[in-house]
Amino acid sequence: MIKTIILAVALIVSVGTVSGFAQDNQKQALLASYYDIKNALVNSDAPGAAGKAGEFLKEISSADAKTFSGAEATAFKTYQDKLGYDARHISESKDIAHQREHFASFSLNFFKLAKAVKLSAQPIYYDYCPMKKTYWLSAAKEIKNPYYGKQMLTCGSVSETID
């Protein structure tokens, strides 16, 4: 009887751990995919941005809101379609200017998601471009502007840090 109870508790704990692990992997994959799009735009690589946006679209489409808990699930459901919409537009275009237009909306919605859902144990920097009057997210404090690339690579500042 005691062995059965111990086994049942171990099973419940391991299922919860696996579920949490899957949830964390899903969150980290979305954030990494966002950064890949941003980095392609920093490098003015329109085909690369399109490809990375296509990968993000697969990630966000296959992500299961049921793996998120409570308020995080609600936030994820709120932004899933919005992020998919902009990722689709970025993925379907080879025009860097058009991609950057959608990246602004994409970044705003991703920021809202990042504020509601703990995506990483590492800080996420919310950077501001004064020339475009818009934002993006970054893994580093160092400014690398995706809206202008090499033309104005270091234009901008950290507006907020999400811990």
What pLDDT is attached to residue 23? 61
What pLDDT is attached to residue 3? 56
Annotated domain spans of the chain: 2-120
Average pLDDT over residues 28-41: 96
Identity of the residue numbered 94: K
pLDDT digits (tens, 9 = 90+) for 79-128: 999 999 999 999 999 999 999 999 999 999 999 999 999 999 999 999 99
Residues with Cβ within 8 Å of 143's Cβ and at least 6 positions away in sequence, in order, are 127, 153, 154, 155, 156, 157, 158
Whether the predicted pLDDT of 130 surpasses 60:
yes
The structure tokens listed for 129 are: 């471009």
Helix (H) or strand (E) holding 135: strand 134-138
Confidence category of residue 64, pLDDT binned at 50, 70, 90: confident
2-120: CATH, from 1.20.120, 1.10.3720, 2.60.40, 3.30.420: 1.20.120
The pTM assigned to this predicted structure is: 0.85
Average pLDDT over residues 38-55: 98
Whether the predicted pLDDT of 8 surpasses 60:
no
Query: How far, in Å, CA of 30 to CA of 92, rounded?
Result: 19
Residues with Cβ within 8 Å of 40's Cβ and at least 6 positions away in sequence, in order, are 46, 48, 49, 51, 52
What pLDDT is attached to residue 32? 96
Query: How far, in Å, CA of 85 to CA of 105, rounded?
Result: 10
What pLDDT is attached to residue 22? 53
